[in-house]
């Protein structure tokens, strides 16, 4: 959603005053070439747990896991990208999402996999290869059937 004005000051103001459902679109980053070819998508919103590579700025070349996503400041906090405060405590240095590329996606969220499928109509089998922590669907279905059989109606028998 692009601002309607061509004046930079008004564009910055519109970005600062944007609601959170619009800010989500500002938090997108490009995918690495391998992921782009595999999934057929150019960019996705960055989430906590993704592994990203900084491609611009002072921290160019650093790779790390996204620790936090700050929608208020439109910034990412990346593991390993820290500075020291005056008292010596390390603090995450905020990086704008346009300055990073997503190297590895966190696909533990089933809704994120649905977003990828919806965008390009890719078969779920391609996405399932990357997810190794999930249980097979058969185990999940068996567990649901057992729960249904164990439950008894509360009404009179």
| DSSP-assigned beta bridge partners for residue 16 | none
Domains of the chain: 31-149 (2.30.30.30)
Mean pLDDT confidence for 131-140 = 52
139-to-4, 104, 108, 143 alpha-carbon distances in Å: 51, 27, 17, 6
Q: Is 113 helix (H, G, I), strand (E, B) or coil?
A: helix
Q: How many CA atoms lie within 13 A of 125 on its CB side?
A: 1
Instruction: Name, in order, each residue with C-beta under 8 angstroms of 37's C-beta and a sequence gap of 6 or more.
Output: none
pLDDT tens digits, one per residue of 47-56? 999 999 999 9
- Percent over 70 (pLDDT), the chain: 75
- The pTM score is 0.71
Q: How far is CA 111 from the centre of its chain?
A: 11
pLDDT score, position 121: 67
């Amino acid at each position: 959603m692009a601002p309607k004005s061509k004046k930079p000051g008004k564009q910055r103001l519109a970005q600062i005053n944007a609601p959170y459902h619009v800010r989500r679109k500002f938090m997108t980053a490009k995918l690495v070439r391998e992921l782009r070819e595999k999934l057929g998508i150019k960019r996705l919103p960055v989430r906590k747990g993704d592994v990203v590579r900084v491609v611009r700025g002072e921290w160019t070349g650093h790779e790390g896991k996204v620790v936090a996503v700050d929608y208020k400041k439109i910034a990412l906090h990346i593991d390993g990208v820290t500075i020291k405060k005056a008292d010596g405590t390390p603090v995450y240095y905020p990086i704008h999402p346009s300055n990073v590329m997503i190297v590895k996606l966190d696909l533990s969220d089933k809704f994120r996999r649905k977003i990828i499928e919806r965008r390009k109509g890719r078969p779920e089998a391609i996405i399932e290869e990357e997810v190794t922590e999930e249980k097979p669907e058969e185990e999940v279905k068996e567990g649901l059937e057992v729960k249904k059989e164990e439950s008894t109606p509360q009404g009179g028998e």
